[in-house]
Amino acid sequence: MGVSTDAILIYGYAWAEEKDLFQAHRFGDGDDDDAEWPELLLRKRGVKNPWDDYPITAEMQRQLSYETRDSLSRCWMAENEERLDAWRQRQEAVEREFGVIVGRHCSGECPMPYVAAWKLVAHRGSPVAVAVPVGCYDAWDARLATFLAEFGIVPPQEHPGQWLVSYWS
């Protein structure tokens, strides 16, 4: 296993500290600690995640054999295929609605967020020609402002801008 080092060029906002931008929208029960923003927004809008009905509990995970858990999981997913597909489609629709990219920079142990309207990544050893689109800033600024307002996120800078960040994992 190697180390990944990426250079990331964005247009948007970049935080210089670890922060959960969506902490205020988590339920606090631990069930959604890893939930990404589309799921949190859908829950806020009253859309139920079908995975909430997944029947295999942590206790069952410890007690049942892998084969039994796998069989139960496959049956449940087959029975709920339409609901799971609809959930995925709703998440994709929310991502298209806002048109922003939420990501992390710095490192896997010290993730710092960014919210971007545009992103370019160069992986170690793979040069990428930089061609930043021009004439898009007003539309990008509006998308970013709408997204931040939806979640009540205070941006770390007064205005969005171009940021070069790194990610080491």
pLDDT at 118: 96
Beta bridge partners of 118: 11
pLDDT at 166: 93
pLDDT digits (tens, 9 = 90+) for 85-124: 999 999 999 999 999 999 999 998 999 999 999 999 999 8
pLDDT at 146: 97
Flag whether pLDDT at 2 surpasses 80: no
Q: Give the pLDDT band of residue 144 (cuts 50, 70, 90).
A: very high
| Chain-centroid distance, C-alpha 8 | 16
Q: Give the pLDDT band of residue 4 (cuts 50, 70, 90).
A: confident
Question: Mean pLDDT throughout 40-65?
Answer: 89
Residue 24 three-state SS: helix
Q: Give the pLDDT band of residue 7 (cuts 50, 70, 90).
A: very high
pLDDT at 157: 96
- % of the chain exceeding 70 in pLDDT: 95
The DSSP bridge pattern shows strands 5-14 and 111-123 to be: antiparallel
In three-state form (DSSP H/G/I as H, E/B as E, the rest C), the secondary structure along 36-86 is: CHHHHHHHHCCCCCHHHHCCCCHHHHHHCCHHHHHHHHHHHHHHCHHHHHH
Return d(Cα 110, Cα 122) in angstroms, integer: 20
